[in-house]
Amino acid sequence: MEHPEYFELISGKPSKEKVYAFYVMNVFCNTHDMHERGTMKGKDWEGNLGWMKMAFKHETVRKYWENDEEFRLSYDEDFRNFVDDVLSKE
């Protein structure tokens, strides 16, 4: 993100770590949406899915997903279900 400090306009004063985790989850959400629309398939999807699973294993993104309800509710129900059913199970 070019200006993470702008995030405070919509969410108070979050840590830089939370801003980055939010940015990462936005990339994941957009990737998931592309897959659901059928514009990302095959090896492109498999590669991105592998990257999402690996990144979600690390404590930072998972911590916000599991412990911050406001963070989770920033995303639509389909994506939340995908994270809970696929990424969180790794």
Which tens digit of pLDDT belongs to each residue from 24-73? 999 999 999 999 999 999 999 999 999 999 988 887 889 889 998 988 99
pTM of the model: 0.81
Print burial letters for 10-28: b (CB count within 10 Å at least 16), e (below 16): eeeebeeebbbbbebbeeb
Residue 19 confidence class, pLDDT cut points 50, 70, 90: confident
Q: Look at the chain and report how many structural domains it folds into.
A: 1
8 Å CB contact between 29 and 74: no
Range of the domain at 81: 4-87
The answer on pLDDT for 11 being more than 80 is: no
Q: What is the pLDDT of residue 12?
A: 59
Q: What is the pLDDT of residue 87?
A: 93
Q: Which residue has the higher pLDDT, 19 or 3?
A: 19
Q: What is the pLDDT of residue 5?
A: 57
